[in-house]
Chain A
Amino acid sequence: MKIIRSMVLVSVDEASLEHGAEKVFHAFLEEIEEFGLSDQIAVSTIRDVGVHEDVPVVIVYPDAAVYAPVRVEDVHTIVEEHLVKGNIVPSMLTMMRGLTPEVAWTRERRGALPVQKRIVLERAGIVNPASIEDYILYDGFQGLGKALTQMKPSEVIAEVEKSGLQGRGGAGFPTGRKWSFVSSTPGDIKYVICNADESEPGTFKDRLIIEGDPFSIIEAMTIAGYAVGAHEGYIYIRGEYPVAYRRIEHAIHQAEEHGMLGNNIFDSGFSFHIHPHAGAGAYICGEETALIESLEGKRGMPRARPPYPTTYGLFGKPTLVNNVETLANIPAIIRNGGVWYREVGSPKSTGTKVYTIMGNVNFTGVIEVPMGITLREVIDIYGKGMKNGKKLKLVQTGGSSGTIVPANLQDTPMDFDSFRNAGVSLGSGALLICNEDTCVVDLAKVILRFFRNECCGKCTPCRIGTLRLYEIMSDISEGKGSISDIDEMLKISEAMSEVSNCGLGQTAPTALLDVLKYFREEVEAHITDHVCPVGVCPITAHVPELLPVP
């Protein structure tokens, strides 16, 4: 038997790969082989550690020393000093802002950054996502065991309802209530679908959850299946996430081998099977009825609702559709109880929220924090301030379908209620932070182009609306707009919001409406003065004299 005395984990998220993580990984293998230590030291990979600078990160257990950034040329020193001689190399320990060298060690990790609270991402970046043993070691499958052996399905649902968990896919519907709808619909065949078709620009939390902790989704789906009376589950993963697909496929296989999934789980008599399913590139498939159509092998076009999937879903059967982050909360809720979960976050929005931070800040990446912190805190504490000392102009929250928050509203607490009252959407948790160099016309144009491309074409208000809005905004950015365009855009937006078939059309004009609400003067400057105040738009009308005469 091999006795592993030490373990080296190399981060292999995209940012790390970009900075040579693969070479570092192989260099560790070679160096360890060179020193004849292959039998004693394991080298493995971890996915995202939640930060995207100073990567790759290398964690050496059992000392939990965190080295970053590690280059190939550093590997020899780390192996020789740390793994052979047993001396941690202080000069190479991470200087990463906020990420303390203890991060990987503390069992009760508060997170990689101050006041982070991790429930969903508790294990991501700590365990090897390809190892079911790692998952079990970190409380994995305890929730499932408790549910199957000590609780009735109705008690599981009651616990989820007690937790106050609201869906984390964007709409924020109470999860427990959705479960009880599916549970109370009669039928022998029901389905559980994990919606991992995360295509909202700026949102990559679900990717990090699946890639970092795939077993939690398997456990949660099985608990959900037990609670609502389903025996089949699908994980619909967007086609652009091949790593996540492979991780899930592997995790399903391992869980089946260990009897945590499949027939007669834990000898409880309950059987549950999960099928991974890759999408093929369509934003609209994140909408639950479009996702179901796509799963059935058709164009991913939303169905008219009602009937809702809870009564008429996949293949016409009652179907529970939950987002990845929603499901990732479930094992901890069952393990620790709904009351425990309620203590995190704000009274009406319980638990934590995973945010992705990007744009013009010093520090981009992912954080998980209790509900209710403010944008200013996000930018100052986690974003480490604005890049190059520029001024904050606006934040787009919740991805392309989300709202735009001007700098003067950055102290609004981020929870479902406060945001709703301020007319802001929390959505998928994407926070795109934009500085003063951002032109709102250009930004709106890019966002509208996205919706023009992604509209499924089924309903007219969305199909024509997204195209017209993009055309008008494009004209304005080229100095060809007229002042009546603003009214026309408002009219189209209103029609789209009210009569579009699904959320895509209803929310496509959100950012545009906010631009017109908070930055109307800047839009008007493009139209009346033919000037882009920030100097981004390709306006030529005001500088014709500079162009050579043909």
Chain B
Amino acid sequence: MDQAIKQKDFDIVELVNDAIEKHGNTRDAVVPILSEINHKLGYIPSSALPEIRRHIHVPQEGVFLADSHLYSAASFYHLYSLKPLGRHIIRFCESAPCHVVGGREVIQAIQDELGLQPGETSDDKNWSLVMTSCIGICSVGPVFLVDDDVYGNVTPERVSEILAKYQ
């Protein structure tokens, strides 16, 4: 995630304009635009939705789009968040292949280490713990991601060593 943008005040108009320029203003650009904003800010602020709608809603071309359509899409996909998350996001795979090779013990170790339940963000805004479905690296399960870094073959003993890298 782009820390520079996250830390200073962001200009949502500019962000949306950039995304529209890159992906176009057609309906099939909705998901790429939302993805880009989510990626840059770590979440999709509600103020972005009317801004996106302004560009894509073109009645004279037969394209009708309401803020609610965008909210509907933004709230549907798992990779999006509608509220700010922590500085580092742990995405833990809770699917069966990781579960049967020891995922159960690893998630417990993560929860113990951070004092977080799945779905929570720490008070110091350093960590968010997100449960996710399979991320397609099942041959090295149990697997989790910290931001964009992949950790496979994780054991409960390795958890604190991995998390320490991000302190």
Chain B residues with Cβ below 8 Å from A79 are none
Q: Is A278 within 8 A of B150, CB to CB?
A: no
Q: Known contacts being A239-B79, A297-B73, is A198 close to B136, with CB within 8 Å?
A: yes
Q: Is B95 within 8 A of A400, CB to CB?
A: yes
9-residue interface stretch from B1-9, B10-18, B121-129, B137-145? B137-145
A365 within 8 A of B: yes
A254 within 8 A of B: no
Q: Is B140 within 8 A of A14, CB to CB?
A: yes
Q: How far is the CB of A28 from chain B (nearest CB, A)?
A: 22
Q: Is B151 within 8 A of A200, CB to CB?
A: no
Q: Is A52 within 8 A of B96, CB to CB?
A: no
B114 within 8 A of A: no
Q: How far is the CA of A358 from the CA of B143 in the complex (A)?
A: 13
Q: How far is the CA of A453 from the CA of B96 in the complex (A)?
A: 13
A333 within 8 A of B: no
9-residue interface stretch from A114-122, A368-376, A444-452? A444-452
Q: Is A364 within 8 A of B76, CB to CB?
A: no
B78 within 8 A of A: yes
Which residues of A, 341-373, contact B by the 8 Å Cβ criterion? 356-360, 364-366
Q: Is B133 within 8 A of A453, CB to CB?
A: yes
Q: Is B137 within 8 A of A14, CB to CB?
A: yes
Q: Is B138 within 8 A of A204, CB to CB?
A: yes
Mask: chain A, 199-216; 1 = CB below 8 Å from B; 0 = not: 111111001000000000
Chain A residues with Cβ below 8 Å from B150 are 14, 17-18
9-residue interface stretch from A219-227, A279-287, A414-422, A501-509? A279-287
Chain B residues with Cβ below 8 Å from A280 are 31, 34-35, 38, 77-80
Q: Is A15 within 8 A of B140, CB to CB?
A: yes
B90 within 8 A of A: no
- Select one of B77, B80, B100 contacting A359, CB under 8 A: B100
Q: Known contacts being A204-B138, A360-B101, is A282 close to B78, with CB within 8 Å?
A: yes
- Select one of A18, A200, A298 contacting B140, CB under 8 A: A18
Q: Is B152 within 8 A of A15, CB to CB?
A: yes
Chain A residues with Cβ below 8 Å from B77 are 239, 279-282, 300
Q: How far is the CA of A299 from the CA of B32 in the complex (A)?
A: 13
Chain A residues with Cβ below 8 Å from B136 are 198-199, 203-204, 207, 238, 240-241
Top 7 A-B pairs, shortest CB-CB distance:
A297-B30, A281-B78, A201-B95, A280-B77, A281-B79, A201-B134, A364-B139
B residues at A contact (CB < 8 Å): 27-32, 34-35, 38, 56, 69, 72-73, 76-80, 94-97, 99-101, 132-141, 148, 150-153
